[in-house]
């Protein structure tokens, strides 16, 4: 299927031309909708407005809606919603909270900016961009919206990132959230955990481990840093090879220096790599005769040392 690139890379300004979305309303200059004007703010009958089928937002806080409704009763709608024409009526682009609150406040008309948006793709992109710029979406809503754009329009992540004005890594990080178990996604959706917690949980290799760590995070109120530390511990433990558990006291190796055997060198290198993964810093293991040795752990600042001390505390708690 050929990719429709009509809006790719143009960003919000190109989609809207000279129009300014969510512009403040000059109440004295409002007129009733004349059925033709584009990029002009006018009063529109709420009864003519259809819901936005591409609305990325799913969660509306009832208390905040009531606060907005009370504000509208006192002062009116201070910021115009945005619409596109659909037959004899309109389809909502942005401002669903204002529409809901206006209905609750008893209004029958609402200030609206009519935009010249002709394709569903532009509509979907604009709805997503507008909500992201207003920071109205939770991370899971953003992730689902990104995934929907990728699927419906066969976009690459690079194209999507350019289209919504974000770095590709940002888009990738959001989409990866959809790999988390549903319980964890809902927890992020309802602000029980932060985006940083969710990203840390992704470092745990399986859903069972992710759910186990998520419950600890929620029950104990762990910080993102402590969650990252525990995730590294779990991830490292899952990669431990059975060969690393062999005894060093076999007859063939008694009395020999561990550092003097190729197998010991390989084991030390493997152990060093695992420790570096868990600790997030350079680690060197120095073997000595008889199986003894020393471990050197680098740190690069006072904050880095504090991080390591905290990490050792987390590991100690985890192993109790």
Residues assigned a catalytic role: 96
CA dist 175 and 139 (Å) reads 9
CA dist 15 and 35 (Å) reads 22
DSSP H or E segment with residue 271? helix 262-279
| Angle at alpha carbon of residue 114, lines to 109 and 120, rounded to 5° | 115
Instruction: Phi first, then psi: give them for residue 291, nearest 5 degrees.
Output: 90, -5
CA dist 159 and 112 (Å) reads 31
Contacting residues for 259 by C-beta, under 8 A, at least 6 apart: 265, 268, 286, 287, 288, 289, 293
**Contact between 93 and 126 (Cβ < 8 Å):** yes
**Contact between 77 and 99 (Cβ < 8 Å):** no
Please state the length of the chain.
320
């Amino acid at each position: 299927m050929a990719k429709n690139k009509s809006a790719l890379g143009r960003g919000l300004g190109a989609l809207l031309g000279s129009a300014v979305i969510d512009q403040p309303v000059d109440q004295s200059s409002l007129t009733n909708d004349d059925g033709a004007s584009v990029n002009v703010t006018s009063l529109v009958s709420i009864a003519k407005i259809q819901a936005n089928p591409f609305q990325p937002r799913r969660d509306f806080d009832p208390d905040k809606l009531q606060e907005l409704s009370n504000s509208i009763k006192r002062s009116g709608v201070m910021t115009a919603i945005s619409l596109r024409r659909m037959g004899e009526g309109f389809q909502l682009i942005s401002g669903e909270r204002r529409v809901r609150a206006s209905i609750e406040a008893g209004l029958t008309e609402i200030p609206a900016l009519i935009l010249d948006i002709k394709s569903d793709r532009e509509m979907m992109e604009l709805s997503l961009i507008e909500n992201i710029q207003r920071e109205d979406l939770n991370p899971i809503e953003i992730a689902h919206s990104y995934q929907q754009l990728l699927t419906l329009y066969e976009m690459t992540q690079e194209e999507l990132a350019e289209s919504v004005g974000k770095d590709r890594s940002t888009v990738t990080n959001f989409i990866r959230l959809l790999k988390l178990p549903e319980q964890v996604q809902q927890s992020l959706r309802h602000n029980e955990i932060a985006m940083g917690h969710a990203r840390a949980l992704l470092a745990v290799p399986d859903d069972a481990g992710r759910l186990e760590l998520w419950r600890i995070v929620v029950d104990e109120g762990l910080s993102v840093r402590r969650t990252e530390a525990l995730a590294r511990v779990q991830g490292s433990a899952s990669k431990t090879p059975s060969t690393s558990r062999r005894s060093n006291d076999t007859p063939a190796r008694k009395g020999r220096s561990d550092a003097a055997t190729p197998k010991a060198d390989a084991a030390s290198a493997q152990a060093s790599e695992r420790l570096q993964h868990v600790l997030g810093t350079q680690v060197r293991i120095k073997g000595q005769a008889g199986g003894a040795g020393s471990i050197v752990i680098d740190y690069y600042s006072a904050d880095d040392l504090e991080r390591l001390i905290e990490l050792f505390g987390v590991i100690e708690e985890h192993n109790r």
